[in-house]
Structure 1
Amino acid sequence: MKIWHEIWDYVKMIVIVVVVVLFLNNVVLINARIPSASMEKTIMTKDRIFGFRLSYGVNLNLFGNEISKKVKDPERFDIVIFKYPDDESQLFIKRVIGLPGETVEIVDGKVYIDGSETPLDDSFIPEPMYGSFGPYEVPEDCYFMLGDNRNNSKDSRYWKNTFVRFDQIVGKAIVRYYPSIKLLK
């Protein structure tokens, strides 16, 4: 009889651990492996990262029911994980460049917002970007995304659906944990 109590205790413990892990993985954190070079040198190919799903509020799909409540807007230069606008079954990771209502234009590799004479500070990119693109008028509740490795990034400039809607954002990338620990900015 005692053995059955011990087995039952182990079963309860395993069930609790599984429920906690599923909750963390589906509601709080997203664990991702970086498949491409589009965010290098910030995040390298094959790096492993954690994203925080609750950074901008709740944006979940539980049992087929979409729950979305915005508490904070993504900010320019945030690194976000989102559903690829042209195929929502894929997750992408890029940097927020254009915010809702802004006009983004890339002239000779420099990014300008709303016709500013001063380009955005892109000192975090590994090499100068080539080309001119836009202008792009970012719709309300949408964002314009660019990879940090801009000459090797499939981003808003090339997508059929140019912008990422807020409800497509899964979370904010917060830390790389493999091959070493690094806070993402």
Structure 2
Amino acid sequence: MENENKELDQNKSRKKKEPKTGWKAELISWIQVLVSAAVIAFVLTTFVIANSEVPTGSMENTIMAHSRVIGSRLHYKFADPERGDVAIFVFGWQCPRCTAIGEGEDPAVCPACGYELGKRAKTVYYVKRVIGLPGDVIDIIDDKVYLNGSETPLEEPYLAEEMNQGETMHFEVPEDCYFMMGDNRNFSADARYWKNPYISKDKLVAKVLFEYFPTPKIIH
């Protein structure tokens, strides 16, 4: 009889130690999973990868209009941009009221509508190709790009078509800056037409690696 009582006491003790299960435990488990996923996603998108949309046809046929691309934020932390890279960079700002876009640092007041921006301006990102490196001299003559006084134009197999703008332009890229152009030159509002045609290295966000929508492919 005494042995039976001891066994009953032991069973009761084990039951008390067993974890309680049910909908509360399952809910807590799901919350932990969701919080962990959110933290991982935040770290990835803030420090590792950049997700960007190309809204226009300025990079066709490399990247078609309305495509979405993924870039590596880490790439330019450990290496300098190279000529030919397709990069995501900070171009300027957009007013949340009138949607006007301006280049460079956002002003205190939107010059288009007078709205006080404060910290409410949206950051505008562009995707273009690195053409000029720090110290480069770029001449556009007869719709061809020439680098550093070369008599031979830059080979650009990625172009959608040859330029037909009849432009003659001259640019000297400052140190720690880059000159960016679209692959669809005849339909690209790129560095040729900006007030400040040069993008400083600290504005380069990521090197584009691949397109994931609508057609998954590696970007060269």
Same fold (TM over 0.5): yes
Aligned partners of 1:100 and 1:139 also within 8 Å: yes
2:50 corresponds to which residue? 30
TM-score (norm 2): 0.75
- Indicate the percent of aligned positions where both proteins have the same amino acid: 44
Q: Number of paired residues? A: 172
1:6 corresponds to which residue? 26
Q: 5+ unaligned residues in a row in structure 1: which ranges?
A: 58-70
Aligned partners of 1:133 and 1:157 also within 8 Å: no
What SS does the aligned partner of 1:43 have?
A: coil
What SS does the aligned partner of 2:28 have?
A: helix
Match status 1:52 vs 2:72: yes
1:83 corresponds to which residue? 90
Q: 5+ unaligned residues in a row in structure 2: which ranges?
A: 1-19, 93-102, 106-122
TM-score (norm 1): 0.89
Q: Which amino acid aligns with 1:157?
A: R
2-side partners of 1:144 and 1:33: how far apart?
21
Shift of 1:123: 2.1
1-side partners of 2:166 and 2:42: how far apart?
44
Shift of 1:10: 1.3
More helix by share: 2
1-side partners of 2:215 and 2:63: how far apart?
11
Q: Which amino acid aligns with 1:76?
A: R
2-side partners of 1:5 and 1:146: how far apart?
55
1:61-103 C-alpha deviation (Å, 9 max, x unpaired) = xxxxxxxxxx211000100000015145210000000000010
Match status 1:115 vs 2:149: yes
Larger radius of gyration: 2
1:124 corresponds to which residue? 158
